[in-house]
Chains A and B, each alone.
Chain A
Amino acid sequence: MTDANSTPNARDASLVVDTELGVDDVEALNVATLTPLQMAWRRYWRHKAAAVSTVIMAFLLIVVLFAPLTARYGINEQVLKIEEGNNIFLSPRKLAWFGTDDIGHDMYSRLIWGIRTSLFIGVVSAILSVVIGTAAGALAGLYGGWFDDLMMRVTDIFLAFPFFVAVVVARAALGNIKWITDIVGEISSIKFIIFLFALFGWMGVARLVRGQVLALKEREFIEAARAVGAGNPRIIVTHLLPNSIGPILVALTLSVIGAIVAESTLAFFGLGPQPGADSTSLGKLVELSREGAKQGNWWLVVFPCGALVLLAICINFIGDGLRDAVDAKLDSVK
């Protein structure tokens, strides 16, 4: 994970310690013989909230990935049972665990399908923005000079817009340009919203990676790599990125939930994606909950918003755990 050269040295050192100290301090010995990745793994699970969140998220992922099995009804299937009579706006009951909406859809099943779409939006746009940001930041930091200046000014321009304003204005403008919608899909499609989030989500990562690269590039092991004759692309891929993977991973996690919340926020204002007849998203459900609240159908509000809050808390805790995991200083504090 981190600088590969340090691992064998650490092992050697621990062997020396072993012979000198005997079996006095088993705990210290264990830490010394672990690889950096194992140490990070251990630090991660020591963060209790992150551990709990990971379990919840894993469970949720399984439920969502096997949606055809775990959902009780299809996306557009209506809850129908003649004895129950009217099937719209049913409150939670055995027939529909989380109640039904205005056209008799089962909320529990819709929620699973919706989380599925929202997680997809979140993960894909997070990966895209992290890839763009990492590339921009690494190149700017490594090459420096006018290129760095230019990249940072471009970043400034993108940072000049508050996120919500930027997304709303860019959505209207880019959605009206034909060659763009030909490539990334119609304005109301999920592909388009992912494109928008990636377009305005990379700046933070770019600044972060640039800072990391600036700090790392003066270090001896980079100099050594240069001396051996490694070129810039190789240095970036094999030395700089593996050494800054920690903060990048944290940024990735947080930008997943950022995108999920942003999609719901846009949908709340009626500007979200329309996933189409055979799909739904958390945002779409949140949008409907607005009507639900007015009519006193609490289950239409509580379940989608609750799911959103649960996702937000879990993913934030996972990000926090990752931050601890990549921070080697925590081992000495303990």
Chain B
Amino acid sequence: MLRFIVRRLLWLPLTILLVTFIVYCAVRTGWHPEQTYKRANPRASQAKVAEYLKVNGLYKGFTGFVRGYFEWFWRFIQGPDHWPRSIKGRSLVYPPLRYAIFNTLRLAGISSLLGWGLGLSIGTIAARKPGSWFDSIANTGAFFLGAIPPFVSGVALQLIFAVELGWFPVAGIYPPGHQGFDLGLMAKHLVLPVTVVTIQVVSAYSRYMRASLLEVRSSDFVRTARAKGLSERAVLFRHGVRNALIPIVTVLAIDIGGLLGGLIITEAIFNYPGMGVYFIKAITNGDIPQLMPYLVITIISVLIFNLIADVSYAYLDPRIRLD
């Protein structure tokens, strides 16, 4: 066990280095630095362009990529004050990114907690009596809702509840021009995006939980628990649910890792100022200084949570052999 964790931990920095290098090269190839800078600042002098290229280490050729990568990496780990500035108005990159991260975490946190709570309970109730009316409704419902692509449900909810009925605001997190913090106003803006994400989470997790619990309930140790006279309730919770959660923890960890990058579609539809909108803006402008920290933070979070998923699975289920 320990050996497995240590080996994976040793791999992690290497993977991060490799992946960030690949991303750096991809971003450099995908968005031509000189062209995007000139497009964002049409009246920039040649000296300004040269300065931008130099500050960001955007050298040409393969050796230039390697040198540029290490210069970028060095600046990156020194902290946000040293990160290169955005190509638009030379603004700092970190404050808007931080704002976007917190907005996304808020949306993701609320809808995940809601979704997991609802999904796991629905799955548990459904698996208690397979084939009952509750089971059929929940299972079919989850199936239908889960099959609808998020951008379709997002646009549908927006058209019905915001545009037609006017119950909720169409987009954003505050009305334009709003200053300061207002919980009620924010909650009103959050209802529709949270619903879209929650639908996805509930439909996925209720089905995972149902399948996993059914699998566990047919296993020998549950029969033993019943045979020794435990109440059905004790069997369900002490033996059933606890073991059914083991495979779900893995999926959970992977999903948390993907959350930062995964809400792009919902955020874009509701113009919610999170990381998705930040990302779309950055790629549209070809803003390499903005794009890189976003990608690196997303990737590191995914890698770490994937690792947690692997380790927790092995830790929770001792039957799994690691080597």
Which residues on A are within 8 Å of B, measured CB to CB?
49, 153, 156-157, 159-162, 164-165, 168-177, 257, 261, 264-265, 268-269, 286, 290, 293, 301, 305, 308-309, 312-313, 316-317, 320
Q: In whole angstroms, what is the CA distance A171 to B152 when docked?
A: 23
With a cutoff of 8 Å between Cβ atoms, the chain B residues found around residue A301 in the complex are 155, 159
In contact, B303 and A305 (Cβ under 8 angstroms): no
In contact, B15 and A265 (Cβ under 8 angstroms): no
In contact, B15 and A312 (Cβ under 8 angstroms): no
**Chain B, range 84-127, C-beta contacts under 8 Å to A:** none
In contact, B148 and A293 (Cβ under 8 angstroms): no
With a cutoff of 8 Å between Cβ atoms, the chain B residues found around residue A176 in the complex are 29-30, 32
From A159, A169, A264, A286, give the contact of B306 (CB < 8 A): A159
From B11, B156, B264, B295, give the contact of A153 (CB < 8 A): B11
Given known contacts A160-B306, A313-B143, what 8 new A-B pairs fall within 8 Å (CB)?
A49-B143, A160-B19, A160-B303, A173-B29, A268-B151, A301-B155, A309-B148, A312-B147
**Chain B, range 7-52, C-beta contacts under 8 Å to A:** 11, 15, 18-19, 22-23, 25-27, 29-32
From A157, A159, A161, A257, give the contact of B18 (CB < 8 A): A157
- Minimum CB–CB distance from A219 to chain B (whole Å) comes to 16
Interface residue? B132 (CB, 8 A) = no
Known: A153-B15, A301-B155, A308-B149. A159 touches B302 (CB 8 A): yes
In contact, A157 and B19 (Cβ under 8 angstroms): yes
Residue of B nearest to A315 (CB): B147
Residue of A nearest to B23 (CB): A169
Residue of A nearest to B300 (CB): A160
In contact, A169 and B30 (Cβ under 8 angstroms): yes
Interface residue? B279 (CB, 8 A) = yes
In contact, A169 and B152 (Cβ under 8 angstroms): no
22 CB < 8 A contacts A-B: A160-B306, A162-B258, A162-B260, A162-B262, A162-B264, A162-B302, A164-B261, A169-B26, A169-B30, A169-B283, A170-B26, A172-B26, A173-B25, A173-B29, A176-B30, A268-B265, A269-B280, A301-B159, A305-B152, A312-B149, A313-B144, A316-B147
Residue of A nearest to B254 (CB): A159
In contact, B306 and A317 (Cβ under 8 angstroms): no
Q: In whole angstroms, what is the CA distance A286 to B150 when docked?
A: 13
Residue of A nearest to B12 (CB): A156
From A156, A172, A261, A320, give the contact of B283 (CB < 8 A): A172
List the 4 shortest-distance A-B pairs measured between CB atoms, nearest first.
A172-B30, A162-B261, A173-B26, A173-B30
In contact, B147 and A157 (Cβ under 8 angstroms): no
In contact, A49 and B140 (Cβ under 8 angstroms): yes
In contact, B149 and A264 (Cβ under 8 angstroms): yes
From B143, B149, B156, give the contact of A265 (CB < 8 A): B149
Q: In whole angstroms, what is the CA distance A317 to B261 when docked?
A: 28
Interface residue? B199 (CB, 8 A) = no
- Minimum CB–CB distance from A154 to chain B (whole Å) comes to 10
In contact, A161 and B299 (Cβ under 8 angstroms): yes
**Chain B, range 301-318, C-beta contacts under 8 Å to A:** 302-303, 306
In contact, B302 and A309 (Cβ under 8 angstroms): no
Q: In whole angstroms, what is the CA distance A160 to B264 when docked?
A: 16
Interface residue? B285 (CB, 8 A) = no
- Minimum CB–CB distance from B82 to chain A (whole Å) comes to 24
In contact, B151 and A157 (Cβ under 8 angstroms): no
With a cutoff of 8 Å between Cβ atoms, the chain A residues found around residue B298 in the complex are 161-162, 165
Interface residue? B268 (CB, 8 A) = yes
In contact, A172 and B143 (Cβ under 8 angstroms): no
From A160, A175, A177, A264, give the contact of B15 (CB < 8 A): A160
From B15, B152, B265, B268, give the contact of A157 (CB < 8 A): B15
With a cutoff of 8 Å between Cβ atoms, the chain B residues found around residue A320 in the complex are 143
Residue of B nearest to A302 (CB): B156
- Minimum CB–CB distance from B248 to chain A (whole Å) comes to 17
With a cutoff of 8 Å between Cβ atoms, the chain A residues found around residue B18 in the complex are 157
With a cutoff of 8 Å between Cβ atoms, the chain B residues found around residue A49 in the complex are 140, 143
Q: In whole angstroms, what is the CA distance A171 to B146 when docked?
A: 27
Residue of A nearest to B275 (CB): A165
- Minimum CB–CB distance from B233 to chain A (whole Å) comes to 24
- Minimum CB–CB distance from B32 to chain A (whole Å) comes to 8
Q: In whole angstroms, what is the CA distance A173 to B30 when docked?
A: 4
With a cutoff of 8 Å between Cβ atoms, the chain B residues found around residue A153 in the complex are 11, 15
Q: In whole angstroms, what is the CA distance A305 to B268 when docked?
A: 18
With a cutoff of 8 Å between Cβ atoms, the chain A residues found around residue B268 in the complex are 269
With a cutoff of 8 Å between Cβ atoms, the chain B residues found around residue A177 in the complex are 29
Q: In whole angstroms, what is the CA distance A317 to B299 when docked?
A: 33
- Minimum CB–CB distance from A303 to chain B (whole Å) comes to 12
For A162, A174, A286, A309, the residue with the greatest tally of chain B CB atoms inside 10 Å of its CB is A162
- Minimum CB–CB distance from B270 to chain A (whole Å) comes to 14
- Minimum CB–CB distance from A159 to chain B (whole Å) comes to 6
Q: In whole angstroms, what is the CA distance A286 to B149 when docked?
A: 12
Q: In whole angstroms, what is the CA distance A161 to B302 when docked?
A: 7
In contact, B265 and A164 (Cβ under 8 angstroms): yes
In contact, B152 and A308 (Cβ under 8 angstroms): yes
With a cutoff of 8 Å between Cβ atoms, the chain A residues found around residue B279 in the complex are 165, 168
Q: In whole angstroms, what is the CA distance A172 to B15 when docked?
A: 23
In contact, B303 and A309 (Cβ under 8 angstroms): no
Q: In whole angstroms, what is the CA distance A29 to B7 when docked?
A: 53
